[in-house]
Structure 1
Amino acid sequence: MDAVVKFTSQSQGRDRIFRATQYACALSIYLLRNNTDREDLVAKLKSLESNISAGRKLLRLGNAANSIVAAKQTMKLSDRVLCLCLTAANINRALYFICDNVLWARNVGLIRHFA
């Protein structure tokens, strides 16, 4: 669990690089969309953007574990109000990432039926 938390905390920089690359691809696609000479380049950029998007979502899988560990740590605070607020925020963040991961897995086809 500690290795997952350490990896996800370090992955923020990588996520920013992937996001910037993804947005640069989207901008290039937008600028080149009407240029008939660049149709093959636009197709490659669309593929690259799609793969980077999937990669970013795959790297986000560990964020739920990171939020759960943060919630466990904030439960140990001595100030009760601060403890309650930070723990609730971390649990909320963990639930968000769990739902996001389940939706991603369903869209990708890893989960067929979710009851």
Structure 2
Amino acid sequence: MKLTKALFYSTLLVFSTLTLNTTIYAENSQQYSEEYIQQQIKKAFDAYEKEDYQTMLDILLPLAEQGDSLTQAIIGDIYHYGKGAKQDYQQAFQWYEKAARQGNAYAQHNLGFMK
């Protein structure tokens, strides 16, 4: 019985945390559709392939600033590797951290190597 209660409360805690994180994300960002974000990321990578790094950054930065974890991780890469902006490990760490706090596994992985 105690194990069942513990499992129930643990599940409830996880569910409420996920719901809260989603709510916070929605309140802190514009409601970009997943399709729109993917289109912007494709445009950014097209710019990257043309070595138009400033355009890439201009496309991704607004999405990252609005809280999209995937674009935050990509901005982290831009600063980490110095493609599109001057290499800046502190900026890379900050962007990876923002994405990691939203559960982005790639950003969490990169943070682990930076610490």
Question: Could you tell me the TM-score, scaled by structure 2's length?
Answer: 0.28
Higher helix proportion (structure 1 or 2)? 1
